[in-house]
Amino acid sequence: MDEQQEPQERATGGSPGRGPQRPDSQEPGGHGPLAGFTVGVTAARRADELGTLLQRRGAAVVHAPALRIVPLADDTELLDATRELVARPPDTVVATTAIGFRGWVEAAEGWGCGEALLDCLREVRVLARGPKVKGAVRAAGLTEEWSPATESMAEVLDRLLGQGVSGHRIALQLHGEPLPGFVEALTDAGAEVVVVPVYRWMPPEDLAPLDRLLDACVARTLDAVSFTSAPAAASLLSRAEQRGLADELLDALRRDVLPACVGPVTAVPLQSRGVDTVQPGRFRLGPLVQLLCQELPGRARVLPVAGRQVEIRGHAVLVDGELRPVPPAGMSLLRTLARRPGWVVSRADLLRALPGAGRDEHAVETAMARLRSALGAPKLIQTVVKRGYRLALDPAAGVSHAEA
């Protein structure tokens, strides 16, 4: 893995295209750029931090850890790899994550071979994937030889291959799962690779939150779902397959629920299933949130209706910039009307858009009354006697009936 392991937040900076903003910055209407949107968070580590960043910008957050990280302090595989390296030191050690490197040293100390491991590492060249890893290496009393500016494992691989690795022995500190293609490329170039697995990804002990998030994705009550590790994405896909919801989840992610990944490696499990993702230019929590601040409002439907500007978001509507929360039934009706703005939609069609409404068209009238009340502007939706309802689209709006 590379960027997916430890995305580091930078608290400052604003939404791309909106100029610099503080983390708690607000739009002109007094709300954050993510107000009215619901974002799923699958992270196990630093989920509170990511959730706080999203909430500061107005988002509703649904958190469900898609995995748990199990330290391998008692794992024989890690112990065997450590003893092997102490007995026969490598030429190079690649440290991929700060938490993983610290965990390795701490585990070795628990086994009574901590000093022997550090003595071994002092005599070899150490490559650190990024600044946090570099800090962990130095905190252990070691000095890294090099660290890529991009914090990308691809750049680490390019450097190793460029310098030549034939006949070299390379220790690779892993964190949870193998690096796809990394080990193979080194061995194909003639290197001997010793993997050092420090942590293991496991499914969450309590699957109920993950199931709720999965159901929300399928029901399209989430506007976006964020991923900060490839194992989290793989875990959500795996759970969907176990529940027979894989096709529904993939359809939702391809069409309606925006998958936002912290970087390209994190996106691999999704892209391998034909799901396009969005990714920030820098592999950090801050840029990931800023990207959502740009993407989600950009996906909202904006219509000129009855002399007002109406922006339809996930669970709320902006009416002339004022945030108006709308009940789920009302949002279903509004989205149905907005598919063909200005056209009359029959009560029967609106009834089909109401989940669990049955055959009683009175449910449409009740939900419509609540929708109008929530919008605070009853004239936005017109009743067409004996026919149904329509959005009162402004005549000069320039919105064709083919749109939506």
CATH number at residue 358: 1.10.10.10
Determine, yes or no, domain membership for 26. Answer: no
Low-confidence residues in the chain, pLDDT < 50: 1-24, 400-404
| pLDDT attached to residue 200 | 78
For residue 130, the model assigns a pLDDT of: 86
Same-domain status, 80 and 179: yes
Is residue 57 situated within a structural domain?
yes
Mind listing the pLDDT tens digit for each residue in 259-292?
A: 999 988 789 899 999 999 999 988 789 999 999 9
Q: Which domain holds residue 97?
A: 70-202
The pLDDT of residue 11 is: 32
Q: CB of 307 within 8 A of CB of 394?
A: yes
186 with 84, same domain: the answer is yes
How is residue 392 annotated by DSSP?
-
The last residue of one of the domains, among 202, 220, 237, is 202
Integer Cα distance of 132 and 6 in angstroms:
8
Domain end among 283, 299, 315 = 299
- Does residue 2 lie in a domain region? no
Please report the pLDDT score of residue 306 as a whole number.
93
Task: List, for residues 286-314, the tens digit of each pLDDT value.
Answer: 999 999 999 999 999 999 999 999 999 99
Which of these three, 235, 267, 299, is where a domain ends? 299
Supply the pLDDT for residue 398: 54
Q: What is the pLDDT of residue 115?
A: 96
**CB atoms < 10 A from the CB of 350, how many?**
22
Distances from the Cα of 43 to the Cα of 258, 261, 317, angstroms = 16, 11, 28
Write the CATH number for 248: 3.40.50.10090
Q: Are 104 and 78 in contact (CB under 8 A)?
A: yes
Instruction: Identify whether residues 309 and 370 lie together within a single domain.
Output: yes
Q: How far is CA 141 from CA 5, 182, 354, in A?
A: 23, 27, 63
Residue 333 CB-density burial (10 A; 0-12 exposed, 13-18 middle, 19+ buried): buried
CA distance 364 to 84: 70
User: How confident is the model at residue 176, as a pLDDT?
Assistant: 61
Domain total for the chain?
3
Domain identity same for 378 and 275: no
Amino acid in position 236:
L
Residues 47 and 128 in one domain: no
Instruction: Answer yes or no: do 270 and 286 share one domain.
Output: yes
Query: Contact at 8 Å (CB) between 140 and 118?
Result: yes
Clarify whether residues 219 and 268 are in a common domain.
yes
Which pLDDT score is estimated for 26? Answer: 58
Our separate counts of H helices and E strands in the chain read: 15, 15
